[in-house]
């Protein structure tokens, strides 16, 4: 994922509104507030799409290592975290140019609005501090994309690992490449519900692979 | 991951082979991850060695290079193992397809056999015989019909001839009657041509008038 972000050297171009200081505080006027909220939703989605961010922390920085459990037991996904390049991460909700940032409770409102629109969901409903998954494509769209890729590459009926779907060589040119495990799991569950895929679990109960039907 | 597991009802079945392939693939993924890890270590050791050389610390540089060498060997082994795993996975997946192919062949063969029993030579011979019989019967039938046909036709033709004769006889009778009447009324005929023309018209008229009479007769 760090490769892809570095490839797109051009920075995300925020709308003009982003340089307007009042945009960063909740507007008292109901109608203005609605427009404001909508604009923020759009910015978050497009920002994440641009930088291929799958999840955001509660202060709006990108999460590279998404975990549903707070216990940091497994270090399986360690390499997905590019050490060094992280440093001081930029937040969507922080505009250093005009020195403004969105406060925590308003961020929560924006997040809740995104969730309501099914454009996001908590990584863990019970522990919202872990962050939020941003669906810059809907889960259904991701599911269709994934299934189309599987069928077009003749892999329906085969067993594929989660890792393969994220980091496999065959996946690299796909839009879903490098998808966060947590997001991918949900996408797979969409397919499983439709009966188009079946989840294979590891001995410890974690999802290890998927078998795609047709 | 806290989702309730609701696998679809029609979801593809998972066989023991699938599980085995999955395990192999997971091992392959692990090797891939390891190789990425080892590669970063090699990079780092290389940098360290370079820095140490710059500083003039030969011993440390040598150590770093040794470490790098070791990691490179490791990478090589990892690569080889990964390759053999990949080959194994491919072989298994292909064997599974082959199994299906063999099954398909077997089924196809069964159907072919069944069809062959249905199409036995005896049966075909019998059918051919029956067909020949049918053909000869048909021929005989048309022969008979050929014999019958002229007789029926003859009768018809005879009848028609009789009818025509009757009609002609009636016509001549009537004409002679008319002529006799005309001869009595009219003075001498003016010229041959005109008589001809007049007669023709008369004839046509008469024919038109007579026809409906002739049919019932």
**Ranges in chain A annotated CATH 1.10.10.10:** 139-212
- Please state which of the four CATH numbers 2.160.10.10, 1.10.10.10, 3.30.950.10, 2.40.30.30 is assigned to the domain occupying A139-212: 1.10.10.10
Q: How many domains does the structure of chain B reveal?
A: 2
**B93 reaches A (C-beta below 8 A):** yes
Residues from A contacting B (CB-CB < 8 Å) are 68-69, 76, 79, 124-126, 157-161, 163-164, 167, 182, 185-186, 189, 192-200, 202, 206-209, 211-213
Residues B91 and B141 in one domain: no
Residue B7: inside a domain: no
Tell me the residue range of the domain where B159 lies: 133-183
Pick from A38, A58, A49: nearest CA to A102: A58
Which chain A residue's Cα is nearest to B6?
A193
Is B27 among the domain residues?
A: yes
Residue found under tokens 């505009």: A95
Q: Which residues pair with A55 in a beta bridge?
A: A63, A133
Closest approach of A195 to chain B, Cα-based (Å): 4
Residue B216 lies in a domain: no
Tell me whether B16 touches chain A (CB under 8 Å).
no
Whether residue B143 lies inside any domain: the answer is: yes
DSSP summary character for residue A138: -
In chain A, CATH 1.10.10.570 sits at 2-134
A-proximal residues of B, 25-64, CB under 8 Å: 25-26, 29, 32-33, 36-37, 40
Confidence of residue B188 (pLDDT cuts 50, 70, 90): low
Strand A159-161: give its sheet, edge to edge: A159-161, A207-212, A197-201
Render A141-206 in DSSP notation, one character per residue: HHHHHHHHHHHHTT-TTSEEEHHHHHH-GGGTTSTTTT--HHHHHHHHHHHHHTTSEEEEE-TTS-
Q: What is the pLDDT along chain A (214 residues), one digit of tens a residue?
A: 444 444 555 788 899 999 999 999 999 999 999 999 999 999 999 999 999 999 999 988 988 877 666 544 343 343 333 433 444 578 999 998 899 999 999 999 999 999 999 999 999 888 888 999 999 999 999 999 999 999 999 888 889 999 999 998 888 889 999 999 999 999 999 999 999 999 998 888 888 899 998 6
Partner-chain contact B1 A79, CB within 8 Å: no
Q: How far apart are CA B90 and CA B84, in angstroms?
A: 10
Could you tell me which CATH number the domain at A2-134 has? Answer: 1.10.10.570
Does any domain span residue B98? yes
Diameter over CA atoms, chain B: 164
Minimum-distance CB partner of A157 among B1, B12, B36: B12
Does the interface predicted TM-score (ipTM) exceed 0.85?
no
Chain-centroid distance, C-alpha A177 = 12
φ and ψ at residue B104, rounded to 5 degrees: -60, -45
Residue B145 and residue B91 in one domain: no
Instruction: Judge if B115 and B142 occupy the same domain.
Output: no
B44 and B86 co-located in one domain: yes
| CA proximity to A184, closest of A105, A61, A80 | A80
**Residue B191 placed within a domain:** no
B154 occurs within a structural domain: yes
Can you say whether the dihedral through the CA atoms of A23, A24, A25, A30 is positive or negative? positive
Regarding whether B106 and B173 lie in a shared domain, the answer is no
pTM beyond 0.90, yes or no: no
In chain B, residues with a C-beta closer than 8 Å to the C-beta of A157 are 12
């Amino acid at each position: 994922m760090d490769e892809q972000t570095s490839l797109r050297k051009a920075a995300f171009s925020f709308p003009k509104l982003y340089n307007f200081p009042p945009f960063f505080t909740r507007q008292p006027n109901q109608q203005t507030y609605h427009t404001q909220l909508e604009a923020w939703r759009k910015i978050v989605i497009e920002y994440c799409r641009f930088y291929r961010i799958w999840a955001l922390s509660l202060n709006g920085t990108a999460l590279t290592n998404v975990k549903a459990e707070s216990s940091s037991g497994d270090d399986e996904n360690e390499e997905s975290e590019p050490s060094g390049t992280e440093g001081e991460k930029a937040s969507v909700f922080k505009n250093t140019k005009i020195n403004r940032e969105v406060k925590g409770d308003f961020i929560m409102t924006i997040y809740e609005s995104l969730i309501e629109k099914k454009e996001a969901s908590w990584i863990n409903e019970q522990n919202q501090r872990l962050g939020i998954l941003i669906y810059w494509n809907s889960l259904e769209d991701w599911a269709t994309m994934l299934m189309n890729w599987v069928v077009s590459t003749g892999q329906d009926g085969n067993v594929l690992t989660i890792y393969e779907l994220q980091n496999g060589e065959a996946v690299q040119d796909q839009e879903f490449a490098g998808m966060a495990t947590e997001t991918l799991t949900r996408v797979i569950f969409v397919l499983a519900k439709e009966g188009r895929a079946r989840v294979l679990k590891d001995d410890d109960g974690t999802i290890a692979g998927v078998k795609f039907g047709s | 991951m806290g989702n309730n597991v609701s696998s679809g009802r029609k979801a593809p079945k998972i066989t023991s082979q699938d599980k085995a392939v999955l395990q192999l693939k997971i091992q392959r993924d692990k090797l891939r991850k390891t190789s990425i890890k080892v590669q970063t270590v090699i990079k780092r050791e290389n940098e360290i060695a370079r820095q140490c050389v710059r500083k003039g610390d030969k011993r440390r540089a040598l150590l770093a290079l040794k470490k790098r060498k070791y990691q490179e060997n490791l990478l090589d082994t990892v690569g080889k193992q990964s390759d053999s795993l990949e080959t194994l996975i491919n072989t298994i997946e292909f064997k599974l397809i082959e199994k299906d192919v063999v099954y398909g062949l077997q089924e196809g063969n069964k159907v072919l056999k069944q069809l062959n029993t249905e199409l036995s030579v005896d049966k075909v011979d019998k059918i051919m015989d029956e067909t020949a019989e049918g053909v000869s019967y048909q021929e005989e039938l048309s022969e008979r019909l050929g014999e019958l046909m002229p007789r029926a036709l003859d009768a018809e033709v005879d009848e028609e001839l009789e009818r025509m004769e009757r009609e002609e006889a009636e016509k001549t009778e009537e004409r002679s009657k008319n002529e006799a009447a005309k001869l009595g009324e009219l003075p001498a005929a003016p010229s041959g041509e005109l008589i001809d023309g007049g007669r023709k018209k008369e004839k046509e008229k008469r024919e038109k008038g007579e026809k409906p009479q002739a049919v019932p007769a």
